[in-house]
Amino acid sequence: MIARFHNPVDTRFGWGSLHELADITENQTVALVTFPEARGLGLVDRIQDLLGDRLVYVIEDVQPNPDVAQLRDTYERFWQQAGECNVVIAVGGGSAIDTAKALIVGTESGRFDELLALLATGKPFVPTRRKLLIAAPTTAGTGSEVTPWATIWDSASHKKYSLHLECTWPKVAIVDPELMLTVPGGVTVSTGLDALSHALESVWNINANPVSDTFAISAIADILECLPLLRHDLANRELRSRMAMAALKAGLAFSNTKTALAHSISYEMTLHYGLPHGIACSFTLPLVLGLAWGHDAARDCTLQRIFGNDLAKAQDQLREFLHSLDVKTEFSDYGVSVSQAEHMIQCAMQGARGKNFIGSLAA
């Protein structure tokens, strides 16, 4: 088999790499998309100092799991008030980057519902207008800085939309572990588990290849070792850097494979049970590992490089790891009955991401 790996994102990694922003945006006007606490943390002022009068617009009210109820007004104001800017920079976690990805896709009318209608078709399209995107994650988990995907939620209708266009690949990713120093313990854990899920999902995936496996295996080893240590030493610069790199490697892995069954299940758990994304996509990892094992010799070989050749011990290792981070691993822990869980898994197998799972063909 000939492996193909493609990632077009110009990635800058390292302590203090946010300073690259000044050179990257030379002679361009910039809009900033960030989270409500960013100003209190001094991030907005830091970016203002770096960009000066090039920073022409700031959105700082991004909420977790960007929802159409809020995005509609944000999107339409952006295109009315900052439609002439050249670049959008997202500084934050996955929600900030996903929000920015939605904002840069301009519709002819400037109306958000036109974008939703295009997304609802499930078909690719070329937007009438678009902006360049720079993504600077403040959490070690999203991977969105090196992928083209964004999830837009419609909680009132219990739906979600997946945005994926050529223009939603970030032009540049700035992965600066210094931005992650102030992330609290709970968010550090949940986003780190999101990264672990990205890496594992890229392994038990029909689109896996030796290049994506290399990134994934390295990311998994680092997360299993570093995340429990970092949880108890949040100011540790070395651990923050290692987790930032692990999340980046996980992002690079699934940028080519997409996610699979655990993420497909997670969407229902977030929509209907309110679980934060990092927990929703990681609490089933021991279960999904068992469902993946034995379906593909090459995938088994890769999984055994990580966990050894005893499935029960491998599942126990994952469960104990999650339990050590106070993450419960049974559907019943989240109010889901056995029959509900079985139905959810079967439906998830048939979802767009579930079909990437190596066990879905046998389901």
CATH 1.20.1090.10-classified regions of the chain: 184-356
At residue 306, what are phi and psi to the nearest 5 degrees? -90, -45
Using a pLDDT cut of 90, give the percent of the chain over it. 96
Mean pLDDT of 308-321: 98
Tens of pLDDT, residue by residue over 106-162, are 999 999 999 999 999 988 899 999 999 999 999 999 999 999 999 999 989 988 899
pLDDT at residue 361 tops 80: no
Tens of pLDDT, residue by residue over 159-168, are 889 999 999 9
CATH superfamily of 184-356: Dehydroquinate synthase-like - alpha domain (1.20.1090.10)
- Decide if 204 contacts 303 (C-beta within 8 A): yes
Tens of pLDDT, residue by residue over 8-45, are 999 999 999 999 999 999 999 999 999 999 999 999 99
- Decide if 97 contacts 137 (C-beta within 8 A): yes
CB atoms within 10 A of CB 4: 8
Tens of pLDDT, residue by residue over 178-211, are 999 999 999 999 999 999 999 999 999 999 999 9
pLDDT given at position 124: 87
Residue 154 DSSP symbol: E
Residue with tokens 């210094």: 178
Residue 197 in tokens: 């899920």
Closest listed residue to residue 249, CA positions, set 202, 309, 209: 202
pLDDT given at position 158: 86
CB atoms within 10 A of CB 323: 11
Average pLDDT, the chain: 96
**To 5 degrees, how large is the angle CA 213–CA 218–CA 219?**
95
Count, in order, helices (H) and strands (E) of the chain: 14, 10
The CA distance from 221 to 244, in Å, is: 13
pLDDT given at position 2: 86
H helix intervals, 204-236? 210-231
pLDDT given at position 46: 97
At residue 88, what are phi and psi to the nearest 5 degrees? -115, 130
Residue 19 in tokens: 């300073």
At residue 127, what are phi and psi to the nearest 5 degrees? -65, 150
pLDDT at residue 363 tops 70: no
pLDDT given at position 145: 98
Using a pLDDT cut of 70, give the percent of the chain over it. 99
Closest listed residue to residue 217, CA positions, set 235, 231, 203: 203
CATH 3.40.50.1970-classified regions of the chain: 10-178
Check if CATH label 3.40.1160.10 holds for domain 10-178: no
pLDDT given at position 193: 98
Tens of pLDDT, residue by residue over 349-359, are 999 999 999 99
Residue 38 in tokens: 């960013």
Give DSSP secondary structure letters for 21-83. Answer: HHHHTTT--EEEEE-GGGTTTTHHHHHHHHHGGGEEEEE----SS-BHHHHHHHHHHHHHHST
Q: Tell which phi-psi region holds residue 138, choosing left (phi > 0), alpha (psi between -120 and 50) or beta.
A: alpha
pLDDT given at position 362: 55
Tens of pLDDT, residue by residue over 205-233, are 999 999 999 999 999 999 999 999 999 99
Mean pLDDT of 43-67: 96
